[in-house]
Each structure stands twice: as C-alpha cells, then as structure tokens.
C-alpha cells in the first residue's frame, strides 16, 4: 500500500458505513438517526455535515440534492453516497484495524467464576 494513502478517522469510518447501510436514503437526518439507534451516538447535525463535507472534498463521498418537502420547511434533502475511493479507504482502515487486533485479547471485566 502506498505510504501516502491515508487512514480514516473513527467518525469518518462510522459515517461511511452508515451511508453504505442507508444506500439511496442516506441524508443528514437519516444518518443521524441510524447512528443514534445503532451505536447510541447522538451526533450534532453540524458535526455530521462538516465531516461529510470534508469527505466530499477528499473524494470519498458525493452528494446530490433531492426534492424539497413541506415537513423540511421547503428545504431539499442532500443525499450522500460513497465513492469507489471511499470504499477503498474503508477497506484499508478495516484491514489495518484487523491487523492490529491480531493477538490482542481485551479483558472484558466479567468474572468467569
């Protein structure tokens, strides 16, 4: 792997995975709700969008505007999707984590007796 390829931050990984899970329905509110429901992570909308924006600049995600709706006060949804580069970055990060976890046993704190 070229040394100039970068690894994703933890939150970036989590957001990319959320986009992959949500597929065509990956927009701000849905991503936020998924993270809250699945990993109990209450993310601020601003933090989510600034991460998505940063990843879009890096070419890891793309976005497109959907239709405006009344319940959104007439504002359009912005749908996000993972690019091939984003998928590659996820695979690299996962591979790196799997490699580092090899041979590591973490005490769970549960007394087996």
Residues 67, 74: Cα–Cα separation, whole Å: 9
Q: Could you give the string, one character per residue 23-62, with x where binding to another protein holds by CB under 8 A and - elsewhere?
A: ----xxx--xx--------x-xxxx-xx-xxx--------
Residue closer to another protein by CB (options 73, 112) is 73
Site size toward another protein, by CB under 8 A:
32
Residue closer to another protein by CB (options 67, 110) is 67
What pairs with residue 82 in β-bridges? 61
Q: Say how many C-beta atoms besides its own lie within 10 A of residue 90's C-beta.
A: 19
Residue closer to another protein by CB (options 5, 39) is 5
Q: How far is the CA of 42 from the CAs of 30, 45, 84, 91, 108, in angstroms?
A: 12, 9, 28, 25, 25
Least gap, CB of 98 to another protein (angstroms): 18
């Amino acid at each position: 792997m070229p040394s100039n390829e970068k690894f994703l931050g933890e939150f970036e990984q989590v957001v990319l995975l959320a986009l992959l899970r949500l597929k065509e329905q990956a927009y701000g509110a849905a991503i936020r709700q998924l993270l809250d429901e699945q990993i109990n992570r209450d993310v601020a909308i601003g933090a989510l969008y600034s991460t998505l924006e940063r990843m879009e600049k890096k070419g890891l995600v793309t976005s497109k505007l959907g239709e405006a709706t009344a319940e959104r006060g007439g504002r359009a949804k912005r749908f996000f999707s993972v690019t091939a580069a984003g998928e590659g970055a996820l695979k690299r990060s996962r591979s790196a984590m799997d490699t580092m976890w090899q041979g590591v046993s973490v005490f769970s704190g549960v007394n087996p007796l």
